[in-house]
Chain A
Amino acid sequence: MVDPTHQVFWFASRAFGIVAMILLGVSVAVGLAMSGRLAHRPGLPAKLKHFHESATLVTLGLIVAHGGLLLFDSYLRPGLAGITLPFALSYRPLFTGIGIIAGWLAAILGLSFYARKRIGVKTWRFMHRFTIVVYLLALVHVVGSGTDARSPWMGALLTGLTAPIVFAFTYRMLPGSSRRRPAAARGATVERAPAIAGIA
């Protein structure tokens, strides 16, 4: 038997990283579904937007927990620079660096929602389109530096997360899909236009 007490922070960091990845995937998929007008039912876009915003905020918290818990890991000892500066960590520097870049991008793009009046809705919408890059970088981070990347359950999880995103992204990119709205729904969403229109 091995006493893993000294590894609890390592395990906790990995666990929070996995949950952060799940919630990030769900949030991105919901955002793409909204922007691609996949959800037609009246009232549903507003609910999805509410969930999208909440999930993004919780994801940011989980990312902070994922990196912050590593500070207490006596084996890795990354230091503050190791978890905040890309490529500064000696452990798989490329892939951990990509993860750190993804984390910063997630924070910038996610929190820019609250600064959209200052930066302009148009600029914010343009920025928000790069959220898919955050997911891709996070995916590379998990596959490259994740200790569970080769586990079958992790493969199944990543496939399950990525498939809806690829579908929603493809649907969103198809010509005419994003502006396809029934006339009744168009009139009903006028009031929410500033909030919904922001989801690019």
Chain B
Amino acid sequence: MTEQPASNPQTRSTPVARTGRRRPSLYRTVLSLGIAAIVAAWLPFSMFYITAVNKQATPVSAISAPHSTTGTTRVVTTASGATQVVSASASTGGASTGARAATPIPVSTRTS
């Protein structure tokens, strides 16, 4: 950056400001700033990661259908041996059947 007088061998390799203090090399400052930036990036990264880990998976059963919220369900076995969930919905007044898994299916989407 700053040209040093060639007659002074002591200051030829070390840039010295007019005040006499050593000026830090660009390489050192860039390296220090780069390391600081990586460390600083760790904070939002860990925040995103922890948020994603703690995010609860939304089960399908939690997604309520308009007419099944007040109903009661029971599991029945059909003549063919298949298991079915029979829902007796109070709002519709009738029974509806549908084959669905007994355990909730987690819905996994990209977080944030």
Contacts and interface: CB of A to CB of B under 8 A. Distances in A.
The binding surface of chain B is classed by DSSP as: helix
Nearest to B19: A43
Interface string B2-35: 1000000000000001110001101001100110
Nearest to A61: B34
Interface stretch (B43-51, B69-77, B80-88, B90-98): B43-51
A147 B44 CA distance: 13
Contacts of B65: none
B53 A2 contact: yes
A14 B112 CA distance: 11
Contacts of B23: 46, 50
Contact of A1 (B19, B29, B53): B53
Nearest to B54: A1
The binding surface of chain A is classed by DSSP as: helix
A166 interface: no
Given A4-B53, A19-B40, A46 B30 contact: no
Chain A: number of interface residues, binned into ranges: 35 or more
Chain B: number of interface residues, binned into ranges: 20 to 34
Interface of A: 1-4, 7-8, 10-12, 14-16, 18-19, 22-23, 42-43, 46, 50-51, 53-55, 57-58, 61-62, 75, 147-148, 188, 191-192, 195
Interface of B: 1-2, 17-19, 23-24, 26, 29-30, 33-34, 37, 40-45, 48-49, 52-57, 108, 110-112
15 contacts: A1-B54, A2-B111, A4-B53, A12-B41, A16-B41, A18-B41, A19-B44, A23-B37, A43-B19, A46-B23, A50-B24, A51-B29, A55-B33, A61-B37, A191-B2
